[in-house]
Amino acid sequence: LYTAAAALQGVGAYHLDILPYLVLSQLKLVLTPVFGMLLLKLCFDRHQWACLLSMACGMILVQSGTITSTDHNQVKEKNMAHGAIAMVIAGGCVAFSGVFMEMMLKTSPHHLVHNAHLAAYSCVFALAGYLWRAGFQPGSFFQGYHGLVWLFVFLNALGGFLVAWCIRITSTIGKNYAQGFGFVLASTIPLLAQSRRNSTQVRSFDGLLRFR
């Protein structure tokens, strides 16, 4: 489902303008609690729903602040309906997968085994993508892998186990909020370094996060 979601997001990015794409890309934040109610029997009050919506709006504000004039000048054939449908299905795939993984992790003590299964699945598709794009050349697979790259590989792998542990003790919704907060924090810093015309947008986003 994650692989299908990635492919569908590519379809959505091709057919949609940047702002509709950004809005629909945050659909998973709203669909995740819906699937949580269906699969995990979770209950949410109005304040929690308002917090989720405010976080989604804040992420859209920050992402749209990075749009440049060149993004609006791209001319290509688009089908808005196809793009919107693709993004809705992608959001549903991501939300359902996250909640289903949470259900598996909380009902089984072997969350490390589940992560190993996901890692093996990812390695197969990553290797297939590499062979398809570059072809297999002996000695070229690890070309350019210096110490810093290996550090990032290790941190990325460690992050997968930390996410599984986070989901096990909290929820997919909490994981989404933490990931969203980290993303918007990384996006806000460049905006603050730009001209003052973005200050209103940044303040609006900051207010939405504080509402949470």
Instruction: Quickly list H helices, 16-79.
Output: 18-25, 27-39, 46-64, 69-72
**Mean pLDDT computed over 45-62:** 72
pLDDT in the model for residue 184: 64
pLDDT in the model for residue 40: 79
**Mean pLDDT computed over 161-175:** 70
For the stretch 103-140, pLDDT in tens is 877 776 666 666 677 667 777 777 776 677 666 665 66
What is the C-alpha separation between 171 and 177, in angstroms, rounded?
10
pLDDT above 60 (res 196)? no
pLDDT above 60 (res 81)? yes
Q: Which long-range contacts (CB under 8 A, 24 or more apart) does 140-148 make?
A: none
Q: Quick one: which of 176, 166, 178 has its CA closest to 28?
A: 176
Are 16 and 83 a contacting pair, CB within 8 Å? yes
Q: Quick one: which of 62, 55, 74, 91 has its CA closest to 15?
A: 74
pLDDT in the model for residue 105: 72
What is the C-alpha separation between 12 and 80, in angstroms, rounded?
8
pLDDT above 50 (res 52)? yes
pLDDT in the model for residue 3: 78
Read off the pLDDT band of 89 (50, 70, 90): very high
pLDDT in the model for residue 71: 46
What is the C-alpha separation between 70 and 137, in angstroms, rounded?
37
